[in-house]
Amino acid sequence: MLEDTIIAISTPPGFGGLGIVRISGKKALAVAGRIFEPKDRSKKPFPVRRPVFGKIRDPERDSALDEAFLTYFKAPRSYTREDVIELSSHGSPAVLEGILRLGTRAGARLAQPGEFTLRAHLSGRLDMIQAEAVNDLIRSVSLSQARISSRQLGGSLSRRIFRLRGKLISLLSRIEAGLEFPEEKLRKDGAADRRALAPIIVDIERLVVSYEAGRAISEGVTLAITGRTNVGKSTLFNALLEEDRAIVTPFPGTTRDFLREKLVIDDIVFHLVDMAGLGRPVHPVEKTGIARGQKIAREADGLLVVLDASRKDSEEDERLIRKYRAKKTIIVLNKTDLPRRIGRRRTQELAGGSPTVGVSALKGRNIDKLRGEIRAVFAPGPGNDEEVVLHARQKDRLQGILEALRRAEGLLSKRHSEEVYAEEIRGALRLIGELTGEVRVDEVLDEIFSRFCVGK
């Protein structure tokens, strides 16, 4: 597979100021030589890492397709570690497709999604965690996600995993030395091993836990707007989004199905869900809507519980707030433009530790304050320099490693034979290998790289 030379358009589809075609492989230079002609003939052979101006030519028709810059990255100092050519022309799909056609006729083959990065991985330039970071960076929807991915592409997470691996290997070799030379009594009891294992376990635990924030950063935080009918949930939904998305009427039971929209606050992505209000359903559709809404509320990362401040306290509100005690919640007191009838004390008691914000969704009053509160309460946790695991795949492996090491620790304290817990540590090392891609699992490879764009 690595024998052939691949070609792809690396810029997104559509019309653009510039478009880039990338070629990688043994024949990259030869292919480029056939379809590109430098204006200054002395620029052939192509200089390394210096753009050369010229024309894309169809060798069969002897006609120029477009002007272009060619840049040559000589192996192994390239993205794939193979010879790589980048042709940067005008970003017309017709021109770019034309270059592709010329390239394939000259001996290259169309690349699969992610195939350049796959080559970078197989050549050892990027481990699997770094390769995943490449795709994350490309697909990042916020700067914070981009920053984390960029750091991981630089190897921050990989280095941390390799350090852990190093520690496990030295622990294992100590155990194995004990196994092979039992008479030397290299190991009197398991205390030293346990001391070595404990910080490794703590470190992996921290990474596993970071996935919660990682998922929130890469997928966004789901926030459900819940409350009785007619309290103004849909009006609030629209006010937060600054568009007339949901239907609002004075009649209870307006919203029946749920609506989901993206809301970005300070670079953090939230998925805001408006849904049917809770109340006595008068129509079967409402009943279904309420059931759906409850499921969404249960599964959401956080809740905005909306109360109508212009009405007396209601038991239903109380029930609702109690029900979701365990969830991160902001209590929104809506309709504060009207005379207040809801009890201040009572709501405060009910809210418990959850913050309460008074707003008027109708008049747009205090909506900014609510946005600030949403950010403060629901934004994903760790600080800027904390390592964050962004992928379920990585988290699953880390979880497996953690479990193996915990078992090893348990065996140690029960003074089991060394062989048994050495085996657990070997298991953990295998999982580390899968995590970084050292141990190749073809299905995993396929799955990861098929999610990439063509041309990367």
- Contacts with Mg ion, residue ranges (CB under 5 A): 233-234, 254-255
Q: Quick one: what does residue 218 bind among ligand GTP, Mg ion, none, with the CB cut-off 5 to 8 Å set by partner type?
A: none
Q: Compute the residue count for the chain.
A: 456
Distance CA 388, CA 288 (A): 38
10 Å CB burial of residue 186 (0-12, 13-18, 19+) is middle
- Under rule CB under 6 A, residue 233 binds ligand GTP: yes
Stretch that binds ligand GTP, among 203-211, 335-343, 346-354, 441-449 (CB under 6 A): 335-343
Q: Quick one: what does residue 71 bind among ligand GTP, Mg ion, none, with the CB cut-off 5 to 8 Å set by partner type?
A: none
User: Quick one: 173 or 249, whose CB is closer to ligand GTP?
Assistant: 249
Minimal distance, residue 262 CB to ligand GTP, in Å: 19
Distance CA 244, CA 237 (A): 9
Cα dist. 367→117, 340, 374, 420 in Å? 44, 18, 10, 60
Q: Quick one: what does residue 361 bind among Mg ion, ligand GTP, none, with the CB cut-off 5 to 8 Å set by partner type?
A: ligand GTP
Stretch that binds ligand GTP, among 51-59, 186-194, 242-250, 409-417 (CB under 6 A): 242-250
Minimal distance, residue 243 CB to ligand GTP, in Å: 14
Distance CA 22, CA 108 (A): 11
Of positions 214, 232, 380, 455, contacts ligand GTP by CB under 6 A: 232
User: Quick one: 10 or 255, whose CB is closer to ligand GTP?
Assistant: 255
Minimal distance, residue 360 CB to ligand GTP, in Å: 4
- Under rule CB under 6 A, residue 293 binds ligand GTP: no
Alpha-carbon 356 to chain mean position: 31
- Under rule CB under 6 A, residue 334 binds ligand GTP: yes
Q: Any residues with CB less than 8 A from the CB of 55 and at least 6 apart, and which?
A: 36, 37, 39, 64, 65, 66, 67, 68
- Total site size for ligand GTP, rule CB under 6 A: 23
Minimal distance, residue 446 CB to ligand GTP, in Å: 45
Minimal distance, residue 225 CB to Mg ion, in Å: 9
Q: Order of strands, edge to edge, in the sheet holding 52-58?
A: 36-38, 52-58, 63-73, 84-91, 16-24, 6-9, 109-110
Minimal distance, residue 308 CB to Mg ion, in Å: 12
Minimal distance, residue 211 CB to ligand GTP, in Å: 34
Which two three-digit tokens encode residue 247?
């239907």
Distance CA 372, CA 265 (A): 8
Minimal distance, residue 245 CB to Mg ion, in Å: 11
User: Quick one: 300 or 422, whose CB is closer to ligand GTP?
Assistant: 300
Stretch that binds ligand GTP, among 185-193, 249-257, 294-302, 427-435 (CB under 6 A): 249-257
10 Å CB burial of residue 195 (0-12, 13-18, 19+) is exposed
Of positions 71, 140, 226, 230, contacts ligand GTP by CB under 6 A: 230
Q: By the 8 A CB rule, do 445 and 118 touch? A: yes
Of positions 24, 135, 149, 360, contacts ligand GTP by CB under 6 A: 360
Our CA dihedral for 360, 363, 366, 372, rounded to 10 degrees, sits at 100
Q: Order of strands, edge to edge, in the sheet holding 221-227?
A: 259-265, 268-274, 221-227, 302-308, 328-334, 356-358
The partner residues of 70 in beta bridges, in order of sequence, read 52, 87
Q: Quick one: what does residue 215 bind among Mg ion, ligand GTP, none, with the CB cut-off 5 to 8 Å set by partner type?
A: none
Our CA dihedral for 295, 255, 314, 238, rounded to 10 degrees, sits at 100
Residues near ligand GTP (CB under 6 A) are 229-235, 248-250, 252-255, 276-277, 334-335, 337-338, 360-362
